[in-house]
Structure 1
Amino acid sequence: MTDQSSRTRTRWAPAVWAALSVVLTGLFGAARVLVTPRFYFADDSEVGSFGQWWQLGDRLLSGRLPILDPHAWQAGNYFAEGQWGLLNPVTWLIAVTARWAENPVVHVTIVKIAFLMLMAGGVCLLARSFGASAPWAAVAGVLVPLGGFTVYMDAASWATGLFNAAVLPWVWWGLRRSVESLRSPLPYLIASYALITFGYVFGVLILVVILVESLVRAIVARDGGRAIRTLLASAWGALLTIAVYLPGVLTAPVTERAGFHVINTRFLNADLSDLMSAASPTATASVGSWWGPETAAPLVYVAWLLPIIPLFLPMPRDVVRRCIPLFVLLALVTVVVIGPSEIGAIRWPVRFMPYVCLTAGVLLAVMATHAFPARVTRRRVWWSLLVLVIATGITYANTPGQWRWLALVMVVQAIAIVAIGYIALTRRIRRDGQRTGLAAAAAVAVSGLLIIPQLAVFPYTPLPKFGVPDSVARMQSILPDSPDDAIVVGDIYAHGGLDASFDERLMGNLWYLSPTRVSSLYTVLPYSTFSKDLCMDLRGATCADALDTLWTRDAETGLPVADLMGVSTILAIKDTFPEAPVPPDGWRLVSEGEFTWLFERDEPVPGAGGVAWTGRGTSVTVVDVSETAVSFRVDEIGDDARVVLARLDYPGYTIDGAEHADPVREWLLTVDASDARPGDVITVSFRPPGLPLMIAASALCAVILVAWPILQHRWRRRAETAPDGLGLSEELPVPATGPDTRD
């Protein structure tokens, strides 16, 4: 009976440790909310993510998938935007729940903490696949989601970055079990689908590195089966990448993402001395950003446990060989983090820090598994303490003003290192399993303890906090009766943080919640000529000249730009326009608020999407207008056969019955109807550029999804029936201890 109970406990121990890691990660994440209720609702999550999810959820609940919205102008090309996650069921779930939510702060907080917990579970599984014991894998599962960049940038603001970092461990684990062990590829296929269709490229780049390393290792080992499986995994990822990213790539030439350059402005990248702060949860290092040469957050913090690595050295040769993928990825992402700040469209390389944390955490767990407690010596404890002192000294040299917190953290780390060393060396605990469990528990406890000084120094993200309303109903009450379409002009950031200002206006994608269609939305792909013409940034802020531009007649068409855009409502920010602007004929000031001026037309015009202007002597009648198409019948063709549409001239438009002309103002879609005759119907329609390739890639993905599991099953059966199991490589077992080399 006792033996049976012991076997049961042993069988369930890994699951218990993993569950403990996931639960503690959730608790640690929630602890930040107790200090800063809006910790996970800042910057892009405030004015970007929630409004985007709300709009996507609204479309999904009405049975539509958004493709293009001409009323949103430069923010309305959804497949090109990528990060809308239009093909991602996880994003759909988040979006639908956002549409049902009344409190955006609560909704976003739950989503963020859930993904941190998901990350912890994936790290545990990945560490186990590399040979880490359950307790040390759980330690890694706790440490990795506590990485400084993950907590203070991705989790606080950049949601898609968090989603990528949370799913990547699951992808890697699924890849290893299907490629290395001939197990079902479905976990890899599902996880990698989620990763790629989130639309955030950084995790996809990491996956490319992992796949290439796996293929090279298989080729070097002359393992044809493993190489074929890696190629299948790579083909799946590549085809998905085409389906998700091709529209953005083909749209880039008309956006601010066009061109390729390599520069180093020292913006959100680190240097070698910064990496010495990787073990300090309260050190800022010298990572430059919007606030100058130092950012008030521990962006390069990896894990407080890093100085303990000498305790686990040297690594056995077979363990080093098994950890080659970890070493390769760790070296590469470290080089990228300290590399140029911009390489083409890839900006701000410190965004790769979550993957430094991932590889370092898993590697630490594997090293501890094979060295603790047998390889731990007093001498190595002293070496670990020396490394801690040196790292803290270099960190102090970079940020001397933080010496009090650095000293406090160093003392806690030193005590923890000594305690772990004592657990390994004491003779009072005879069983190695008990020592390992106690040491892992101590490491997890210290991880939670160090959140306290970290929150004392950095209670919130350094990214902007706009203080947007925590009520969906309140945001839906903004511009309730204004005629479509509307645009905001002026500095939208001027009154950020002032709650009363949100009784008159919204920001970024929160405008999706307004009953009026407002084009001043958030985009990651600003349309170059449009944004320059209206001096508009990616969140919809403009300079003062934008109002003059809207009310000034275009030299080529003779119509005001507002007419060409179909704008009937203008909301002007008072900080930019202290005195009431004088509207032209046909417009009137309908209300003055504390923060805004509201102008409307006397007679509203049709909004964006339809015909805005026809050339001299040319007249047409609009037959039908939808988000992705407009049809019009030619009534007369004059000397100037151009027809201007109130749409941006995006790649992907096709014109049936006429030709594409140079865009008016370099951004308005323009049709040349010279070859048409009266009575002809011209149809202008939009499809994401590269759609045939996207469909073909998706079809091939479907083939792989069906064929690979079948082939995998046959390969496994063949390997199992081989005389010596040739070709079947199971995951490596986890040894209890290494050889005893204690002094």
Structure 2
Amino acid sequence: MNSVARRPLHGGVVAFGVCLAVVLLAQLPFLRNRFFYVWDDSSAQFLPSWHYLGEQFVAGDWPKLMSPDNWVGGNFAGEALFGLWNPVNVANYVLVSRFDDLSLAALVVKTEFLALLALGTYLLVREYGAGRGAAAAIAVALPFGGFTLYYDAASWAAGLMAFAWIPFTWWSARRVARGAGSPLWPFLFGALAVTTGNPYGLLGVCAVLFALLVESWFARDRAAVIRVFVVGVLIGLVVPLVYLPLLGTSAVTDRAGQGFASNGVLVPALSDFLSLSTPSQLPMIWTFGNPLRLSVPGMYFAWFVVPLLPWLDWGVLRRRWRELLGVFVVMGGYLLLATGPSNMWMFRFPLRHVEVVFLAVGIVFAVLLSSGLRKDRLRSRALITAGVLLFTAYVSFSADAWSWRRHAVSLVVLAVGTALAVRLSRGRGLYVVLVAGVAAVLALQTAWFPKNADVADYGLPNKVSERRAMHDYQGTTFQVGSVVIGNNGLLLDAHMVSSYTGMGNRKFNQATCLNYEGTTCPQSLDKLLKPTDLAGQTLLDLLRVETVVVQRAVNRDPQVPPGWQVTERNDLVTVLRRGTPLAWPDGRVGWTDVNVSSDVSTDRSETVRFTGSGTLAFARLAWPGYRAEVDGKPVDVREGPAGLVLVDVRDGGELKLTWSAPGLVPGLAAAALGLLGALGFSALLVIRRRRAADVSADQAS
């Protein structure tokens, strides 16, 4: 009786230990490189946006679906990537907004999601019948796999946030399939994965639910198939809320890398999986700046998986293959994706799929390991292990011969660790060795590879106060060159026209020579000063630009427009400022040929009182979703120069211009229906289980 009472506590203690171990180990990369978690997209896109969105939430402006001041990066609903409907994301944005040092903010948030990933993995592996020790070893190792650590955690934060919820969704949905859990949990976890806004989260949810359907079908459990199917439908009702605005906006955007293509970037080969346990291996995978190999061990998973393969009881798979069928479905499907075309619709860079492959591999490995290590034919197993270690060391040496010292150290670490694991295989010492080896390898890798040189190092200051002090700009600010990188304009008092976005407004980008990073070409100022077909007005005026910052490396002697003056000139930039205040300071009318008596705007609306007939041009991008009424009667909204909003009016009155994200109302309705459905389905299953229990009790009596 006492042992039964202690079991849940013991399981909770192990789960807590897993999370604590991951939290502590996540500090190692930061100690090696303070900027480790603020790299590439995290520096240029995610951290500045999180800080800004958190400030907006604290100020009471939520949901922040649109910010016209942020121009191409201001359609947050259409961008989808920032997870505006995800409560965990929002809570973290508020947390980030309390930090001045973004490197510390990134450390806290990414440590949190690495720990969540570990906890979900532990629960999932246990669900498939693995022992606590084996599950703990895999759960601690997975967050520090090469891709998860060096790409997702260091740079592509949205990928880490989405991946963290996949094991939870899989675990809770499988419990529902076998009749042991509430459908509310997989709905909530699946909704969290979907509402991160990262399409890989949605893909992962679809993959694991399909795998569970296959698993249940082969088990001839019709009730399980129905339960999983219903859960999938309920989670699917959340999808329109996140992706309808994106799809509704796509007609005016150009997302980089859409469609199907095979350019070889970040496409691993099947042979690269042979080195998933070699800490020093730099796979020969074509990356962004290096056509030869990765600069980090992007295909590394866990040091102990390959060396211990000869010691496992493979007969377990013959006895339990039906139970593990869903795992094999996920593993096989993601192997195909990982080695497939480099571009498939919204999914680019197949290397992103390897972490799900490793999750599936980890489940199978843990199940096998839980049966104990085989000690028969000791010499044969030892020779096979030695051969495997030498072969993988040779493969690493062949790919990067100049790093032979690292490969030698890796070989020694794996050999010693494997020997200790085999020696201590009869008790908890085995799992202590496995986790200690994860820590040792992480220490080596962060010393050898303190940063991911495959992606961009923007070299930005980490303190928000320092960034604001560097740029004393006023009003709407246009840059020529790359003075302010990405979404860092969100941290300034000015409103930067440039932003980092994967969903640029096609006409606006072409008209201003703006790229996805928010930098512009040397001819951008000339484009702004060129008369448009709207009564010869320039874009400089139509956009209501008040400050132009010209990088001197791009243009050392910029043209000063009439009515403008140079307010600053140094070795880096020339700053031009408009000499006279703009009309209608409370609104966004950039030009009109009617008489405007008042103009008041918010992010998603504008009210203009006017007399006469003519055209109103607004300093707003004509994203789909705009509607206009004059004295309650609908009028057309059309697209003007550079994709700006134009409204033709007649006979005076009050114009009300409003914007709503495409598909927002049906998306909210569908998500609400999904939540109600999950609650109702959960209640129905509870009632049925109670009735079944009552029937069983009556029969027993």
TM-score normalised according to structure 1 size: 0.88
Q: Any idea what SS the aligned residue of 2:620 has?
A: strand
- Aligned residue among 663, 679, 685 for 1:706: 679
Aligned to 1:448: 439
- 1:298 maps to a residue whose letter is P
Check conservation: 2:587, 2:599, Cα contact below 8 A: no
Deviation at 1:106, TM superposition (A): 1.0
Give the secondary-structure state (helix, strand or coil) at the position aligned to 2:577.
strand
Deviations 1:445-504 (A, max 9, x none): 111111233123201122323332232222333444x43111222134xxxxxxxxxxxx
Post-superposition CA distance 1:52-72 (Å, at most 9, x none): 111111111111111211111
For residues 3-43 of structure 1, what are the alpha-carbon distances to aligned partners after superposition, in whole Å with 9 as ceiling and x for unaligned? 95x66665543333322222221222112222112211212
Question: Is 1:402 the equivalent of 2:403?
Answer: yes
Aligned length: 690
- Hey, what does 1:132 align to over in structure 2? 130
Cα distance in structure 2, aligned partners of 1:488 and 1:705: 49
Residues 169-184 of structure 1: matches in 2 within 5 Å? 169-184=167-182
Match in the other structure for 2:600: 624
Once residues 363 and 460 of structure 1 are traced to their aligned partners in structure 2, the CA distance between those partners, rounded to angstroms, is 31
**2:562 alignment partner in structure 1:** 585
Deviation of 1:589 after TM superposition, in Å, equals: 0.6
Q: How does 1:685-704 map to 2 (within 5 A)?
A: 685-704=658-677
Displacement after TM superposition at 1:724 (Å)? 11
The aligned amino acid for 1:475 is: R
For 2:592 and 2:218, how far apart are their aligned partners in 1? 65
Q: Does 1:299 align with 2:298?
A: yes
Match of 2:485 in 1: 507
Looking at structure 2, the residues matched to 10 and 239 of structure 1 have their Cα atoms a distance apart, in angstroms, of 38
C-alpha distance 513-633 of structure 1, shift in aligned 2 (>3 A) = same
Q: Which residue of 1 aligns with 2:58?
A: 61
Give the equivalent residue in structure 2 for 1:651: 624
**Alpha-carbon separation, structure 2, partners of 1:356 and 1:724:** 44
Alignment check: 8 A CA contact 2:193 2:205 kept: no
Displacement of 1:592 in angstroms is 1.4
SS state at 1:405 partner:
helix
Aligned equivalent of 2:572: 595
Q: Given the superposition, is the C-alpha separation of residues 93 and 113 from structure 1 closer, same or farther in structure 2, using an over 3 Å criterion?
A: same
SS of the residue aligned with 1:477? helix
Stretches of structure 1 lacking an aligned partner (at least 5 in a row): 425-434, 493-505, 727-743
Which secondary structure does the structure 1 equivalent of 2:688 belong to?
Answer: helix
Q: Which residue does the alignment assign to 2:210?
A: 212
Change (3 A) 1:360 1:259: closer
Q: Distance in 1 between matches of 2:137 and 2:535?
A: 66
**2-structure distance, mates of 1:574, 1:373:** 69
- The CA distance in 2 between the partners of 1:228 and 1:724, in whole Å, is 26
Pair 1:51–1:258, CA change in 2 (3 A): closer
Moved more, 129-138 or 100-109: 100-109
| Alignment pair present for 1:161 and 2:155 | no
Question: What does residue 355 of structure 2 align with?
Answer: 354
Q: SS of the residue aligned with 1:538?
A: coil
Structure 2 counterpart of 1:625, one-letter code: S
Letter aligned with residue 468 of structure 1: L
Q: CA deviation at 1:259?
A: 9.3
Q: Given that residues 474 and 493 in structure 2 are in contact (C-alpha distance below 8 angstroms), is that contact kept between their aligned partners in structure 1?
A: no
Q: Answer whether contact 1:276 1:395 (CA < 8 A) is retained.
A: no
Residues in 1 aligned to 2:349 and 2:371: alpha-carbon distance in whole angstroms:
36
- Cα distance in 1 for partners of 2:331, 2:379 equals 29
Instruction: Report the identity percentage.
Output: 27
Does 2:606 match 1:614? no
State the partner residue of 1:498: none
Q: Which moved more, 1:369-378 or 1:149-158?
A: 369-378
Q: CA deviation at 1:576?
A: 1.2
Letter in 1 for 2:26: G
User: TM-score, normalization: structure 2?
Assistant: 0.93
Give yes or no for contact 1:170–1:191 (8 Å, CA) kept in 2: yes
Provide the C-alpha distance between the structure 2 equivalents of 1:621 and 1:309, rounded to a whole number of angstroms.
78
1:149 aligns with 2:147: yes
Q: Secondary structure at the match of 1:631?
A: strand
Matching of residues 213-232 of structure 1 within 5 Å = 213-232=211-230
Quote how far apart the aligned CAs of 1:240 are: 0.9
1:33 aligns with 2:21: no
C-alpha contact 2:616 2:648 (8 A) present in aligned 1:
yes
One-letter code aligned to 2:434: A
After TM superposition, list the pairs within 5 Å mapping 1:334-483 onto structure 2.
334-372=335-373, 377-424=378-425, 435-462=426-453, 463-480=455-472, 482-483=473-474
Q: For the Cα contact (< 8 Å) 1:420–1:439, is it kept in 2?
A: yes
User: Is the Cα–Cα contact under 8 Å of residues 28 and 443 in structure 2 kept in the other structure?
Assistant: no
Deviations 1:515-559 (CA, angstroms, capped at 9, x unpaired) = 222222222211112112212122210011111111222244311
Q: What is the Cα deviation at residue 343 of structure 1?
A: 0.9
RMSD over aligned Cα, in angstroms?
Answer: 2.5
User: What is the CA-CA distance between 1:696 and the residue it aligns to?
Assistant: 2.2
Change (3 A) 1:376 1:164: farther
Q: Match for residue 16 of structure 2?
A: 19
Aligned twin of 2:323: 322
Q: Does the residue aligned with 1:522 lie in a helix, a strand or coil?
A: coil
